[in-house]
Amino acid sequence: MRKLIRGAVAACLALPLFLASSPSAQAAPDPLTATSGFYVDPNSSPAAWAAANPGDGRASAIRNSIANVPAARWFGSWSGDIGSATGSFAGAAESANKLPILVAYNIYGRDACGGQSSGGAASPSEYARWIGAFAGGIGSRPAVVVLEPDSLGDYGCMSQDKINERQNMIINALSQFQSKAPNAWVYLDAGNPGWADASTMAEHLDAAGLSRARGFALNVSNYFTTSQNASYAGSINQALRQRHGYSKPFVVDTSRNGNGSNGAWCNPAGRKIGTPTKEGGDGAEMLLWIKTPGESDGDCGVGSGSTAGQFLPEVAYKMIYGY
């Protein structure tokens, strides 16, 4: 996944984030109070690897430090019938009285400017069908959804018509969640502090319908510290309030930010797992493991020879200890 680093990020003070909200925002009840905690996916890639390799000396550490931490499941073209897939996942969480975290990653023209995770739906109309079925599978169950990582961070290779097309796809997706998954909290992906500047990201978010969402997600599949993301969120919300009259809650992907960023985005060495999934922290509404530690970003860095999303046990093992 493309997470382009564009220079050092100036420190800025986080501003109050919940002073205003759009009247068109989702009015879903708090899914955290409706459940007994976050759902641990028993079929995650690290859990599956540890179960298949019980004699491996790394298995215990990977199981205890990664597989047993609540984390998101990503859904895309590989998920088969998407309504059944999200329904099964959300249903399993509901049966355990837990809150599932889902990532929708199938937008038409996905990762257009990066390429490591290119693909997605075959057309905007196909995406509309897919995301509607995604939301319908969740139904009335409580859930956290991160919507389309990479989609708003970089428009550098896109024409204005393609930008408008993408924004309209996301606006429609949010409408689908409002009508078909009314108890899901949906967060638009907003990149990270080293990608687009906060003012630009605020405009991208608003144009893509942020007022209809619960909030925005930061640092997905990246490494910036939680405090850096909180400052970035404060700047985004400042721009939103000044220009559009509202601000939004945010969540941070802490799955791989324990050692912060070294300026690289694609399988950099020396990274470490961060704060396990939990409610609140540094002004964020939730700290979430959105990217699974040990899953590759693509054929690059310490994941050379791998494909995006492939689980790499040695990378996962080293990430537990930060080397």
Q: What is the pLDDT of residue 27?
A: 56
The reply to whether 222 sits in an annotated binding site is yes
CA distances from 38 to 90, 242, 258, 277, 278 (A): 12, 34, 20, 8, 8
Q: 101: pLDDT confidence band, cut at 50, 70 and 90?
A: very high
Q: Is the pLDDT of residue 1 over 80?
A: no
The reply to whether 74 sits in an annotated binding site is yes
The reply to whether 185 sits in an annotated binding site is no
State how far the Cα of 170 lies from the Cα of 212, in Å rounded to an integer.
10
Sign of the alpha-carbon dihedral angle for 279, 174, 146, 82: positive
What digits encode the pLDDT tens for the residues 52-100? Answer: 999 999 999 999 999 999 999 999 999 999 999 999 999 999 999 999 9
Residue 297 annotated in active site: yes
Which of 41, 111, 150, 282 is the catalytic position?
150
Q: What is the pLDDT of residue 20?
A: 41
State how far the Cα of 16 lies from the Cα of 247, in Å rounded to an integer.
9
Nearest CA-CA partner of 1 in 114, 107, 105, 112: 114
What digits encode the pLDDT tens for the residues 13-59? Answer: 333 333 344 444 445 679 989 999 999 999 999 999 999 999 999 99
Residue 56 annotated in active site: no
Please state which architecture CATH assigns to domain 45-321. Alpha-Beta Barrel (3.20)
The reply to whether 195 sits in an annotated binding site is yes
What digits encode the pLDDT tens for the residues 170-218? Answer: 999 999 999 999 999 999 999 999 999 999 999 999 999 999 999 999 9
The reply to whether 295 sits in an annotated binding site is yes
State how far the Cα of 291 lies from the Cα of 296, in Å rounded to an integer.
10
- pTM reported for the whole predicted model: 0.91
What digits encode the pLDDT tens for the residues 104-150? Answer: 999 999 876 766 667 899 999 999 999 999 999 999 999 999 999 99
State how far the Cα of 102 lies from the Cα of 73, in Å rounded to an integer.
5
Which of 41, 154, 253, 297 is the catalytic position?
297
Q: What is the 3-state secondary structure (H, E, C) of the chain?
A: CCCCCCCCCCCCCCCCCCCCCCCCCCCCCCCCCCCCCECCCCCCHHHHHHHHCCCCCCHHHHHHHHHCCCCCEEECHHHCCHHHHHHHHHHHHHHCCCECEEEECCCCCECCCCCCCCECCCCHHHHHHHHHHHHHHHCCCCEEEEECCCCCCCCCCCCHHHHHHHHHHHHHHHHHHHHHCCCEEEEEECCCCCCCCHHHHHHHHHHCCHHHCCEEEECCCCCCCHHHHHHHHHHHHHHHHHHHCCCCCEEEECCCECCCCCCCCCCCCCCECCCCCEEEECCEEEEECCCCCCECCCCCHHHCCCCCCCECHHHHHHHHHCC
Q: What is the pLDDT of residue 28?
A: 64
